[in-house]
Amino acid sequence: MRKTATRLADGREIIYYDEGHGVRRELPDLRDLPPAASGSELRWDPLRREHVILAAHRQGRTHLPPSDECPLCPSLGDRLTEVPSSSYDVVAFENRFPALSGSQGRCEVVCFSSDHATSLAELGPERLRTVVDAWADRTDELSARPEVHQVYVFENRGPEIGVTLHHPHGQIYALPFVTPRTERDLESARLHRDGTGRDLFADILESESAGPRVVLRNEHWTAFVPEAARWPVEVHVYPHRAVPDLPALNDAERTALAELYGDLLGRADRLYDTPLPYISAWHQAPVNDPGLRGLARLRLELFSVRRAPGKLKYLAGTESGAGVFSNDVAPETTAQRLREA
């Protein structure tokens, strides 16, 4: 893989990840752009003890443009986009409308292909391996920034999830705090270790590995529907080796992940008569805190709001108001359907 970093017209960084080593990417961005939007603010909720990001400037971001106006497609002729090249494999760049910027963190977009009509599930293991390497590289670089405490890699897919651009892409948030979800998970891991002397994530993986909720498994990874799944479709993917983050994966683990993840996404798309809307989220260890990193374990969680053909799960009063989830689909049923898909 060849990596090339350069700048867009407004000074934002863009990084190409090319599968061919002979590709050259020193192409200028010819657009006349104003400075990138900014102005986000972090506020602290003392009752929940959580940060809230205020980003009113994002109200003006591009929203569901037609395909011939997609800002993530390659630049062709007079149509200049966020990517000043006629084609690309995988590319990452600073978000033009970031929720976080400057000393408060960084938000990046990761495009998986220059093909507007494809999806991550359709790209094949070679491209998925490039995506995994790009995720790992961006995590490594962003983790080195002094203001960053956690790097969150994710993909929102489908209008039902609320995506504003249909082009196959994900995002990366370099956060100046540890997320509430991570803090709660690691506190559970700490209590488990103090009470049993064992690793909570290893115990979860062991308990699920021989059970009815396993969807896929290879030498280095296991994908399973958790026993207490909150969402109609929910799959967790664990590496067999305890590693804190994506950069820590070795070559064999990255290749095995690309193969298993592509298979999983294909099965998810075959569940219904339409591509599955989903959120796919990487949980990585916090940075700059050895104690928390020692408790954490890399894992992926993929979940969907689709509960049946033509039906979505909406968070109702107990879920949105009280945080108590109810699931209309048994996890064992979801696992069986994914195995058979």
Cα 284–Cα 287–Cα 290 angle in degrees, nearest 5: 105
Residue 271 to residue 311: CA distance in whole angstroms: 13
Go through 228-261 and write b for each residue having 16 or more CB atoms within 10 A of its CB, e for each that does not.
ebebbbbbbbbbbeebbbbbbbeeebbbbbbbbb
**pLDDT for residue 239:** 98
With b for 16 or more beta-carbon neighbours within 10 A and e for fewer, the 92-124 pattern comes to: bbbbbbbbbbeebbbbbbbbbbbebeebbbbbe
What pLDDT is attached to residue 63? Answer: 87
Residue 312 pLDDT: 95
pTM: 0.96
Q: Could you list the active site residues?
A: 169
Same CATH topology for 2-175 and 180-340: the answer is: yes
In three-state secondary structure terms, 285 is coil
Write the class of the CATH domain 180-340. alpha beta
Domain boundaries, the chain: 2-175, 180-340
For the segment(s) 2-175, the CATH number from 2.60.120.590, 3.90.79.10, 3.40.50.800, 3.30.428.10 is 3.30.428.10
In 200-285, which ranges are E strands? 214-217, 221-224, 233-239, 278-283
Q: Which two tokens stand for residue 201?
A: 């994530």
Instruction: Identify the three-state secondary structure at position 233.
Output: strand
Helix (H, G, I), strand (E, B) or coil at 222: strand
Please write the tens of the pLDDT for every residue from 36-87: 877 899 999 999 999 999 998 888 888 889 999 999 999 999 999 999 999 9
pLDDT computed for residue 173 by the predictor: 98
The DSSP bridge partners found for residue 13 are 7
Which stretches of the chain score pLDDT less than 70? none
**pLDDT tens per residue across span 111-131:** 999 999 999 999 999 999 999
